Each structure stands twice: as structure tokens, then as C-alpha cells.
Amino acid sequence: MKILVTGASGQLGSTFKALADGGHAKGLDFEFRSSAELDITDFAAVREELLSKDYAYCVNCAAFTNVDKAETDNELAYTINVSGARNLAMNCNESTTVLIHISTDFVFDGFLNTPYLEDDIARPIGFYGDTKFKGERAIVNNLEEYFILRTSWLYSEFGHNFMKTMIRLGNERDELSVVYDQVGTPTYASDLAKVILHIINAHSIDYGVYNYSNEGVASWYDFAKAIFDQFGIEVQLNPIRSEEYPTPAERPKFSVLDKSKIKNTFKLAIPHWKDSLSVALKAYSKINI
């Protein structure tokens, strides 16, 4: 079974490749394409790739994910997250390829105080979240066989992410301040990739939108403290409000995702974020000796 992975040099794409190289995807034939090798904003290039091989699935890991930069680089964020998603959907429809697309908790405004369900109203408060939701709609409107997985606070031993930034800053500084009034769930990219492999291996036709993150709840302050505690970094960590650390893009204050749908549909046991963080830190240590 042939599977195309776009955005293969990014965080989630690199995670997929590591799993495949480590023997976690037996019986699956992956074709990894970085954004330089396959530009999803190029309709003709996407069409040629999807029609050149008999792909059963396309896992779209390509995205504009710089939340703050999206506020000023509107055109590029829109082109990748909306036009790119539409290009994939239209061409997957022609090639009868199932699309697995990664979306985000940022489609929600964060005004609820209970975990978000898939059918809760999407109301993004920033340009990044807006493009990701419009990308979802472009898929829904152009394709029937798709899985859209909304995830949150993705991190891993690969790419640029909060875990790696905290390790670097914790080793450089004696004191750090991290916001405590934004609450969500850290998600280890390897866990998300394994769930996608599970969906593929199940040959599921339960298409639609699903939430996926690790279990548990944390603030960014809690996440940072767990990283320092588990990794053995001594640093004075101060909790601050979002107003004390202004950013170009406003973040949702509460973006915990309800995962009942994906757990019930695919009979999943999801790890707690602290347990997965321990696994991620060990993996990080192995490649940063």
C-alpha cells in the first residue's frame, strides 16, 4: 500500500520517517516529499505526483505553522494552508486517494471552559487558525474520503518546538518566565503519527473530523516545568500572565480537545502527556549526545 507524505522534512514528517525507518510501518510503502520536492501550492505538481503512483493515502504534513508570522505574512500562510489543502483535496478526489490532513486546536477561540468537541463552532481568533479552518473547509467541500485530525501543542525531538526551545533556554539562562493562563494539552508527534498509522492499517471508512492530543491538561508553565524536572535542568521558572508576554498573534486561553470520538471509533488508549514527554526526552537525548 503506497502512501504519500507531504511536508516530509518538517516535525511530523520527520517523525513519520523515523517510525518507518524503525520498522513501525511494516507493509506500508512510503514516499516522502519535502516541501522543496513537492510544493502543495502547485496544483499541477500535486496532480502529477498523485497520478504517477497508485497512492492509497496522502498524509499532509505540509503547513505554515508560524503562528505569529502568519499575522503579517498573510498571503503565504493562506496559500499553503488553504490553497494547498484545496489542491490536495481536488487531486486526491481525482486519484481516489484518501487524504489525512493535520489541523489544529487554534480553529477554536478558547472561550469555553470544557474540552472542545469536533462539532463545536470553529471561531479562530488569529490568522493562522483562520487559514487552518478554511483549509479544513476546502477539503470537506472537495473530497468525501478524508480524515482531518485536529491536534494541539505538537512537539518532538525533531524540528522547532516548545520542548526543544525550553531545553535550549534552560541551559542558557538562570531564570525564565512562561505564561500560565493558556491551557491545553502537549502532544508528542510520535503518538500522533502512530494514530495515523493505526487509521491506515484499519482501512477505516469512518471519514470525518477528529480531535487528537495526548491525555491530560497543562498550561505552558506546567509543560515547561515538567520538561525541566524530567530533563534535570535547574532554572528559576516564573509563571506570568499572557499580557506580560505580548505576541503578534493572540492565543486561545483554553484549547483542550475532547477525544471521545477518535477513542471510541478506533479503540485507542491515549498516553498521558507527561508519560509521552518522558519518551520524547529520551529520544531527544539519543540524537543530541
Grid cell, residue 86, equals: 484545496
User: With contact defined as beta carbons under 8 Å apart, do 47 and 89 qualify?
Assistant: no
Residue linked to cell 498550561: 219
57, 78, 116, 128: the catalytic one is: 128
Nearest residue to 37 (alpha-carbon basis) of 29, 47, 49: 49
CA distance 200 to 52: 21
Residue 210 among the catalytic residues = no
Residue positions annotated with a catalytic role: 128
